[in-house]
Amino acid sequence: MKATGTVHKYGDHVDTDAIIAARYLTTTDPDELAGHCMQDIDEGFVARVKPGDIMVAGENFGCGSSREHAPIAIKAAGVSAVIAANFARIFYRNALNIGLPIIESAEAAARINASDEVTVDTEAGIIVDHTTGEQFAFQPLTDVAAELVAAGGLVPMVKERLGKA
């Protein structure tokens, strides 16, 4: 996966209530969820975000509730990848399962600024910040995480296990 976009930057411990508030959890429609993405901590996000944009955050991104509506909302909003210093574990699993690219890089998370133009190349393991000229290498996924991404998420993987592929 290679994508270029504008950065939307957040701090540490962005919780899933902030990504999508519970009052919108009576729907599972990705577009409807995307329409309320980040609303409680960044009201202008939905109007500002463009397809391909990149989210950058600090530590423990996606902490709190297990709601898969959170990565679904981010993906449906057009975000091509989330870079964070690290992720909360349920969010991490959910993102891999639904095919939202996520990258752990403390260095990139610290040095990339809001509104920078950034390219993410998951095969090469490189993040390029075109605005500052900086580059950041990151470790490619391994083990089950790599298998999940290669399979296109958990649904196709299980489908194959069930002989329904």
Partner 1 sequence: MTITEKLLARAAGRDQVRPGEFVSCALDLVLANDVTAPIAIDEFRRMGAESVFDTGKVALVCDHGTPNMNIQAATQTRKVRDFAREMGVVHYFEADDSGIEHIILPDKGLVIPGDVVIGADSHTCTYGALGAFATGVGSTDAAAGMALGECWFRVPESIEVIYTGTLRPWVSGKDLILRLIGEIGVAGARYRALEFKGPIIDNLPMAGRFTICNMAIEAGAKNGIIAPDATTLAWVAGRSDREPVALASDPDVSYVQTVEIDCADLEPQVAFPHLPENTKGISEVGEVAIDQAVIGACTNGRLEDLREAAKVLKGRHVAEGVRCIVIPGSHAIHLQATREGLVELFLEAGCLVSTPTCGPCLGMHMGVLAEGERAIATTNRNFVGRMGHPGSEVYLAGPAVTAASAVAGRIAGPDEL
134 binds partner 1 (CB under 8 A): no
DSSP string spanning 3-39? EEEEEEE--S--BHHHHS-GGGTT---HHHHHTTTTT
Among 68, 102, 116, 119, interactor with partner 1 by CB under 8 A: 68
Question: How far, in Å, CA of 102 to CA of 96, rounded?
Answer: 8
17 binds partner 1 (CB under 8 A): yes
- Other C-beta atoms closer than 10 Å to the C-beta of 161 total 9
Of the candidate spans 2-10, 22-30, 114-122, 128-136, the one that interacts with partner 1 by CB under 8 A turns out to be 22-30
Closer residue to partner 1, CB minimum distance, 85 or 127: 85
22 binds partner 1 (CB under 8 A): yes
146 binds partner 1 (CB under 8 A): no
Among 15, 104, 117, 121, interactor with partner 1 by CB under 8 A: 15
- What is the distance in angstroms between the CA of the first residue and the CA of the last residue of the chain? 23
